[in-house]
Structure 1
Amino acid sequence: MRFKTLLLSFVVAISCKSLNVDYFPITIEGNKLLVNNELYVIKGICYHPVPKNSSKRDFSNLTEDLSLMTELGINTIRVYEPIDDKAVLDEIAFSGIKLIIGFGYNQNGIYDIASGTYLDYIEKYKKHSAILMWELGNEYNYHPEWFKDDIANWYRAMNTAALEIKGVDGNHPVTTAHGELPDDLALRMSPNIDVWGMNVYRWDNPKAIFIEWNSISKKPMYLSEAGGDSYMTITKSGYKQGENQKAQADANKKILDVVFENLDVTLGVSLFSFTDGWWKAGENDKQNLGGRAPNSTGVPYDGTPNEEYWGVVDIDRNRKETFEIIKTKYNSISDTN
């Protein structure tokens, strides 16, 4: 297995040397996203791979992960912080997958919004074919305490950053991952956001979010997070307490059915998440219950976010029951719908 992985890495590395990194035009037409002038449906996954005994992201398992993602039919990866490694970006591009690159507000001056260094990253990688969109923040509307207890300070900074990005890169849309439906203040203060991502946990049926969005905006939107975890804190809705992969599989199936029935409104979805994260709720050398997630009472089917059980594969890349559900659904939907 080790030899096979090394061989795959070598083949990808050689191929990426000749990879044409000229980028296709990525544009907005009405409430649609176009890549190379064709409609693009986001069949995505949130990806923050952290190995056992660690709290830091690590791409050493990238080749295997991309193989699994390709099998799943994933065409978009959403990451919460920039990837400053051309070899990683090249391998992702070579796999046929595109990236939504997230920028935090304050990341100690490392490609963050507060320092302005996010623009350095965009200048560096704006012509790379792996890039789909630039994303500003993740559920910051739940954290006014980070902005002097006034969330308007964040919207002002976000809107300015989006405008500055357009001055550096006119080829990639700017998005944000908003917690739930943005209110009037968010929309009024953020005209430079091209695509609204929304992290939505409404049990197993997000249908109402599409109706609500369509009534307040004609801009593109997508679900930047959605899905369920594979642990039931209590017995409820016919699902037994304890690790319960069927609950996760059933929830994800219903969520994906609703998303893809509403492609007249939404660009698609980025399911949360690819792999279990043992770093999130306790000791990094074992899987723990619990974890903190704001506004998460809508997590199916127990209303409790067990943060270390959200992967569609476990930390050893064993497939959970939901894997085949996602594979069937994503592969039945054309990238260009």
Structure 2
Amino acid sequence: MLKKISIIALIMIALACKGHDAEGVVANSGRNLMVNGNPYLIKGICYHPVSKGSTKRSFETLDTDLALMKEARINTIRVYEPIDDIQVLDAIHEAGMKVIIGFGYNQNGKYDILSRSFIDYVKKYKDHQAILMWELGNEYNYHPEWFGDDINNWYQTLNTSAEAIHELDKTHPVTTAHGELPDAQALTSCPNIDVWGLNVYRWDDPTEVFDRWKTISKKPMYLSEAGGDSYMTIAKKGYEKGINQKAQAEANANILDAVFNNQDVCSGVTLFSFTDGWWKAGKPDTQDPGGWAPNSSGVPYDGTPNEEYWGIVDIERNKKLTFEVVKNKYR
């Protein structure tokens, strides 16, 4: 059950609203993420639409995708790079959804962290009602080699970047997508992170993550990635080898049950992912098994992340079995 909102938190939210459209105010109170003064539970999806035969993101199927998301009762979309198109953001808002905008470290100076041009994007879109949070980085704690072989360099950059956003935007929290649970070094180094997103693959039950979070932080958290794919590299636990939508559907059902049974700690999930990505493991005009991801041995039920089979719909937007699972759990 979500906790009652303290009087102090309500005053802080009211102050944040001053001079802003109240419909655009996102804050946190204790472990709760708040939107317009009300507790907000993320019923989300990771979204990086790449058309068959391509390797670049495209929103050419946006209307179809938003209709399917709406049917699945999704309220939040998480993207891995900024959406610099007001019409796309408007469409997301009009569909009744919010978006977590992700900033990469090095995107050739285009709204990235390295050049600090992410601030230009925040300035441009901070008043758009589709924005839920700003997200800095995705699993960068797995890559100290990107930061002079010293992960402290990333944490310092993460914290100062969050501070820069706070100075500019008082009405949206800053988050990061951390690979697994952050250790004490990460938590103490990054006090400016308001909400911690965790990319977690713990088979089909992330409950232990929530139990641990209670002991290490009082801030809000959500699962920024979780889920299962629809391909079994081996036969296991009664699931046949090969394309296996049943394995994905049952894994996602268990994961979502765990999330929503722990709302006192967890502010929701952005399930990975909306559509299959044919660009990830082989030729982009064919769907190939295989692929690799850090800390992925916990992927249900074969311990292998078949990177092109994670969608709740396939690349043609046909619903997989897990689509109905998501629809039923996201009530």
Bin for the TM-score computed over the shorter chain:
over 0.9
For residue 220 of structure 2, what is the aligned residue in structure 1?
220
Partner-residue secondary structure (3-state), 2:293: coil
Alignment-mate amino acid for residue 42 of structure 1: I
8 Å Cα contact 2:199/2:223 also seen in 1 = yes
For residue 170 of structure 1, what is the aligned residue in structure 2?
170
State how far apart, in whole Å, the 1-side matches of 2:241 and 2:100 are. 35
State how far apart, in whole Å, the 2-side matches of 1:85 and 1:140 are. 26
8 Å Cα contact 1:22/1:129 also seen in 2 = no
State how far apart, in whole Å, the 2-side matches of 1:189 and 1:23 are. 32
The RMSD of aligned alpha carbons is 0.8
8 Å Cα contact 1:22/1:128 also seen in 2 = no
For residue 242 of structure 2, what is the aligned residue in structure 1?
242
Alignment-mate amino acid for residue 327 of structure 1: K
State how far apart, in whole Å, the 1-side matches of 2:308 and 2:63 are. 23
Partner-residue secondary structure (3-state), 1:297: coil
8 Å Cα contact 2:113/2:161 also seen in 1 = yes
Q: Deviations over 1:95-149 (max 9, x none)?
A: 0000000001111100001101000000000000000000000000001110011
- Structure 1 runs not aligned, ≥5 long: 1-20, 332-337
State how far apart, in whole Å, the 2-side matches of 1:116 and 1:23 are. 28
8 Å Cα contact 1:276/1:315 also seen in 2 = yes
Q: Taking every aligned residue pair, what percent have the same amino acid on both sides?
A: 67
State how far apart, in whole Å, the 1-side matches of 2:28 and 2:175 are. 12
State how far apart, in whole Å, the 2-side matches of 1:230 and 1:60 are. 25
Q: Deviations over 1:43-101 (max 9, x none)?
A: 00000000011000000100000000000000000000000000000000000000000
Shift of residue 24, structure 1, vs aligned partner: 2.4
State how far apart, in whole Å, the 2-side matches of 1:287 and 1:80 are. 22
**How has the CA–CA distance of structure 1 residues 250 and 81 changed in structure 2, closer, same or farther, with 3 Å as cutoff?**
same
For residue 318 of structure 2, what is the aligned residue in structure 1?
318
8 Å Cα contact 2:24/2:127 also seen in 1 = no
Matched, 1:72 2:72: yes
Shift of residue 23, structure 1, vs aligned partner: 4.2
State how far apart, in whole Å, the 2-side matches of 1:34 and 1:311 are. 28
- Structure 2 runs not aligned, ≥5 long: 1-20
For residue 10 of structure 1, what is the aligned residue in structure 2?
none
Alignment-mate amino acid for residue 162 of structure 1: A
For residue 329 of structure 2, what is the aligned residue in structure 1?
329
State how far apart, in whole Å, the 2-side matches of 1:33 and 1:252 are. 23
Q: Deviations over 1:147-198 (max 9, x none)?
A: 0111110000000000000011110000000000000110010000000000
8 Å Cα contact 1:139/1:179 also seen in 2 = yes
Partner-residue secondary structure (3-state), 1:178: strand
Partner-residue secondary structure (3-state), 1:284: coil
8 Å Cα contact 2:24/2:129 also seen in 1 = yes
For residue 4 of structure 2, what is the aligned residue in structure 1?
none
Alignment-mate amino acid for residue 97 of structure 1: M
For residue 25 of structure 1, what is the aligned residue in structure 2?
25
TM-score calculated relative to the size of structure 1:
0.91
State how far apart, in whole Å, the 2-side matches of 1:71 and 1:218 are. 34
